[in-house]
Structure 1
Amino acid sequence: MQLVALQLNAQADWLHNRAQIAALLQRLPLERPCLVLLPENFACMGAPRDYQQLAESVGDGPVQHQLREWAREFDIWLVAGSLPTRVPDELRTHTTSLVFNPQGELVDFYHKLHLFDVDVADARGRYRESDSFVPGNDTCVVPSPFGGLGLSICYDVRFPELYRLLRQQGADILLVPAAFTKVTGQAHWLPLLQARAIENQCYIVAANQCGSHDGNRETWGHSVIIAPWGDVLAQQGTQPGVIAATLDPQQTEHIRKSMPVQLHARLTPAWRE
Structure 2
Amino acid sequence: MTDDNSGSDSTCVAAVVQMVSGQDISANLAAAESQVRAAASQGARLIVLPENFLVFDSEAAISLAQSEARNGEQIRKRLADLSRAEGIYLVAGSLPVAKTTLHQPEDDRRALSASLVYGPEGGLLAEYHKMHLFDVEVSGDSQRYMESDYFREGEAPQTVELPWGLLGLSICYDLRFPELYRAYARSGCTMLTVPSAFTAKTGEAHWDVLLRARAIENQCFVFAPNQGGQHENGRHTFGHSQIVDPWGRVLAMVESGPGIAIAELDFKELAQIRRRMPVEQHRRL
TM-score bracket for the superposition, by shorter chain length: over 0.9
Partner of residue 132, structure 1: 150
Return the letter of the residue paired with 2:270.
T
Task: Give 1:235's match in structure 2, choosing from 253, 256, 259.
Answer: 253
Match of 1:19 in 2: 30
SS of match in other structure, 2:136: strand
In 2, Cα distance between the equivalents of 1:101 and 1:114? 26
Please state whether the residue corresponding to 1:235 is helix, strand or coil.
strand
Measured after TM superposition, the shift of residue 123 of structure 1 is 5.4
Farther-moved stretch of structure 1 (193-202 vs 23-32): 23-32
Q: Distance in 1 between matches of 2:25 and 2:205?
A: 30
Q: Do the aligned residues in 1 keep the contact of 2:44 with 2:262 (CA within 8 Å)?
A: no
Q: In the alignment, does 2:199 pair up with 1:181?
A: yes
Q: Distance in 1 between matches of 2:49 and 2:97?
A: 16
Give unpaired runs (5+ residues) of structure 1.
268-273
SS at 1:6 equivalent: strand
| 1:208 to 2:218 alignment | no
CA shift, 1:65, in A, is 1.0
Question: Within 5 Å, which residues of 2 pair with 1:118-129?
Answer: 118-121=136-139, 124-129=142-147
- Indicate the residue corresponding to 2:269 in structure 1: 251
My pick for the range that moved more, 14-23 or 242-251, is 14-23
- Aligned mate of 1:28, from 33, 36, 39: 39
Equivalents in 2 of 1:33, 1:147: separation in Å? 16
TM-score by length of 1: 0.93
Which of 23-32 and 222-231 deviates more?
23-32
How much has 1:234 moved relative to structure 2? Answer: 0.2
Q: Are the aligned partners of 1:124 and 1:217 in contact in 2 as well (CA < 8 Å)?
A: no
Secondary structure of 1:149 counterpart: strand
Identity %: 44
Distance across 1 between alignment mates of 2:55 and 2:142: 17
The aligned counterpart of 2:91 is 79
Number of the residue aligned with 1:8 = 19
Deviation at 1:172, TM superposition (A): 0.6
- Please, which moves more after superposition, 22-31 or 244-253? 22-31
Name the residue aligned to 1:270. Answer: none
Alignment pair present for 1:112 and 2:122: no
The question of 1:198 aligning with 2:216 is answered yes
Q: TM-score, normalised by structure 2?
A: 0.89
- Aligned residue for 1:39, secondary structure, equals coil
Q: How does 1:62-77 map to 2 (within 5 A)?
A: 62-77=74-89
The alpha-carbon deviation at position 72 of structure 1 amounts to: 0.8
Deviation larger for 106-115 or 122-131 = 122-131
Residue 170 (str. 1) matches residue 181 (str. 2) = no
Give me the whole-angstrom Cα distance separating, in 2, the residues matched to 1:78 and 1:106.
10
Q: Segments of 4+ in structure 1 off by > 3 A? A: 29-33, 121-124
Deviation at 1:241, TM superposition (A): 0.4
Q: Runs of 5+ in structure 2 lacking a partner? A: 1-11
The structural deviation recorded for 1:122 is 5.6
Match of residue 64, structure 2, among 48, 54, 60 = 54
Question: Which one has more relative contact order, counting CA pairs under 8 Å at least 6 apart?
Answer: 2
Deviation at 1:15, TM superposition (A): 0.6
Equivalent residue letter for 1:194: R
1: CA distance, partners of 2:156 / 2:222? 20
Residue type at the aligned position of 1:203: F
Shift of 1:62: 1.4
Residue 44 of structure 1 aligns with an amino acid whose one-letter code is V
Superposed, which structure 2 residues align to 1:140-151 within 5 Å? 140-151=158-169
Evaluate the alpha carbon distance shift between residue 11 and residue 119 of structure 1 in structure 2; reply closer, same or farther with a 3 A threshold.
same
Task: Provide the C-alpha distance between the structure 1 equivalents of 2:44 and 2:38, rounded to a whole number of angstroms.
Answer: 15
Asked if structure 2 preserves the Cα contact closer than 8 Å seen for 1:39 and 1:179, the reply is: yes
